[in-house]
Structure 1
Amino acid sequence: MQLILNDEMEIMAYVKIGSAENGVDYDGPIPDGFLADFEPQKYKLIAGVIVSNTDYVTPEINPPTPTLTQQDGINAHFFKMALDFKKQLKEMGSNG
């Protein structure tokens, strides 16, 4: 296994097969949960052993909020007009 570390020896990524640029070879014990729950910086390499990073804080992830453009509003207006027109045509066809 190779570990990709930052300057604080936090594990940013790992590869089990092959190699990675600037990867550090590791063949020591792997903590429970490391493979299943891995997140960058959640573990550190201290004295050649993978340990939990006591300074780790789960990053807050804010989902992106879509910003509607003027063109989006225009498109929605035309789409609604087309649906209204289709509804009117269907009503006209059922009346005659």
Structure 2
Amino acid sequence: MDNRISLQLMLDATGHVTSYATVGGLTGATTYEGEIPDEFLTSTQPQAFKLIDNVLTKDPNYVAPIPEAVKHQPSDEQRFQAQLALQMATMQKKQAEFNAQVLLQVADIKETAETPVTSATQATPTAETK
């Protein structure tokens, strides 16, 4: 397979590829005509490739940067504290719900005690006619 190609390469100060164009051009880019590593065009990290003595090669010492989200993961202690805080909040919520139910029951008992009991059937005098 012929891996010769013409590219426009943007390089950083160490000679690593920061971006490239296979069609058209990039302002301030270096024109490269030569062989490319097999995985260069399919790689999602062009920074892993370096121009050494005008030959594009994969840098064996390249280490992918760690994304910011991964750098700032909580410690085991912070995870434990967050889990404990969540458990406490859950318990407080359940306690508040229980307290509300008790207050409703107390209010129902008071309402029942204050309501006068009326007789359903009252005796009404009837007049006799002769």
* Band of TM-score, shorter chain: 0.5 to 0.7
**Which has the higher Rg, Structure 1 or Structure 2?**
2
**In the alignment, which of 12, 15, 21 is matched to residue 18 of structure 2?**
12
Rounded Cα–Cα distance in structure 2 between residues aligned with 1:63 and 1:55: 23
Give 1:63 deviation, angstroms: 4.0
**Which of structures 1 and 2 has the larger relative contact order (alpha carbons within 8 angstroms, sep 6+)?**
1
The equivalent residue for 1:83 is: none
When structure 1 is superposed on structure 2, of 52-61 and 22-31 the one drifting more is: 52-61
The equivalent residue for 1:47 is: 53
Runs of 4+ in 1 over 4 A off after TM superposition: none
Rounded Cα–Cα distance in structure 2 between residues aligned with 1:16 and 1:45: 16
CA 1:56–1:33 in structure 2 vs 1: closer, same or farther (change >3 Å)?
same
Give 1:62 deviation, angstroms: 4.3
Task: Please show how residues 1-96 of structure 1 align to structure 2 within 5 Å.
Answer: 1-63=7-69
Give 1:27 deviation, angstroms: 1.1
Supply the RMSD in Å over aligned alpha carbons: 1.9
Structure 1 gaps of 5+ residues are 65-96
Identity of aligned residues (%): 33
TM-score scaled by structure 1? 0.60
Structure 2 gaps of 5+ residues are 1-6, 71-130
TM-score scaled by structure 2? 0.45
Identify the structure with the greater helix proportion: 2
